[in-house]
Structure 1
Amino acid sequence: MAMHKLLVDDFFDDSFLLLAVHCRLEDYRLAFLLNKYLELRLARRAQDLDYNYFAASYAIYEWEDSKFDTIWNLVANSCKRQENSIQSSGSLFDNQNVVTKINYLVPELKKADFLIKVSNENQQLDEKKILNSIQAIPQIITAYSADLNNIRSKEHLIFN
């Protein structure tokens, strides 16, 4: 029997800009600051992104700019969950410890706290201007453009 493989790279449209943001803000506060400094209108989606069979959910904000035909997405890159860990020590009583597990949306960018995806079909984005505007926000440590060629988990960047 013939085996057919479908690769995500065949269907994946990389006509977007991916920015990694390092900051210690809550997601709603960062969305507010981006709206203020970049004149965006990011709003939280009704449902968060759920991956790994609902083991991790990531807050996502979105704005469709119809004037420039651009879609802006702000998404948290990490999800922290507390789980009970049962360790058998061979004794009569079980010890239960609470373990914090961290799941990353894009594991290749573990150090980034948030990701900003800017989709534009015409690819008329001024990447340097956007980065300078983001880095002008005092609460942001740094922001940089992520190289899409080094990201293997591209399927996690499909938000629709």
Structure 2
Amino acid sequence: MQIHSLGLEDFCEDEYSLIGIHTALEDFKLAYLLNKNLGTSFYKSREDLNFENQQKKASFSIFNYASTKYDFDWFLIANSSKRENQTELNELLLTSETKTYLIPEKKKVDFFIKISGDLAYSFVLETVGKIKNIDQVITSYSIDKNTLKSKDFLIF
């Protein structure tokens, strides 16, 4: 009798495509331009993507869109989180800024679009092309999620 066992990775592997975007735009302005050019309806999530450990707190903005036509969930996620630190030294208030990255190996990427579902690669390339046509976007491209060390941060 043959026995089949399931590992934890069989349950945790979420099928999604990932697009990286380089731009100097604010998150809400990028969401607006994506809505205009892709025909999406991104809206600000009620809560940001928050991470906390002993040394750091990081909060990454996230926008959602649920496609009823294709039954895909889209997420626009900021890759960086800035936090101001204030210290007082001899009656002088010093301010420094700490920048934390959601995916540290992709520090140059400003935003990610995560599209949940089993997508045709041609659909992803078409979406990337439309994003590249936005004047304020420097570039965008598809990212192979299997090359990321920190891909677990994209599971939510």
Unaligned runs of 5+ in 2: 1-6
Structure 1 residue corresponding to 2:109, chosen from 109, 112, 129: 112
Contact 1:20 1:145 in 2 (8 A): yes
Distance in structure 2 (CA, Å) of the matches to 1:77 and 1:127 = 20
How many Å apart are 1:150 and its aligned residue?
Answer: 1.9
Partner of 1:4: none
Q: 1:101 aligns with which of 98, 118, 138?
A: 98
Instruction: Report if the CA contact (8 A) 1:8-1:155 is conserved.
Output: no
What CA distance in whole angstroms lies between the structure 2 residues aligned with 1:63 and 1:9?
A: 27
| CA offsets 1:32-75 (integer angstroms, 9 cap, x no match) | 00000000011011111101247111110001112211011001
**In structure 2, how many angstroms separate the alpha carbons of the residues matched to 1:8 and 1:58?**
27
CA contact (8 A) 2:14 2:155 kept: no
- 2:88 and 2:16 map into 1 onto residues whose CA distance is 44
What is the total number of aligned residue pairs between the two structures? Answer: 147
Separation of aligned partners in 2, 1:55 and 1:80: 10
Superposition TM-score, scaled by structure 2 size: 0.85
Does 2:67 align with 1:70?
A: no
Q: Which residue of 113, 117, 137 corresponds with 1:140?
A: 137
Aligned-residue Cα RMSD (Å) equals: 2.1
Provide closer, same or farther for how the CA distance between residues 155 and 8 of structure 1 changes in structure 2, counting only shifts above 3 A: farther
In structure 2, the residue matched to 1:43 is 43
3-state SS in 2 of match to 1:152: coil
Structure-1 separation of matches of 2:66 and 2:46: 15
TM-score by length of 1: 0.83
**Cα distance in 1 for residues equivalent to 2:14 and 2:142:** 14
What CA distance in whole angstroms lies between the structure 2 residues aligned with 1:12 and 1:107? 22
Deviates more, 1:94-103 or 1:104-113: 94-103
Confirm or deny: 8 A CA contact 2:48 2:60 kept in the other structure: yes
1:128 aligns with 2:122: no
**Structure 1: gaps of 5 or more residues:** 1-6, 88-92
Mapped to 2, the partners of 1:158 and 1:86 lie a distance apart of: 39
Q: CA deviation at 1:9?
A: 4.8
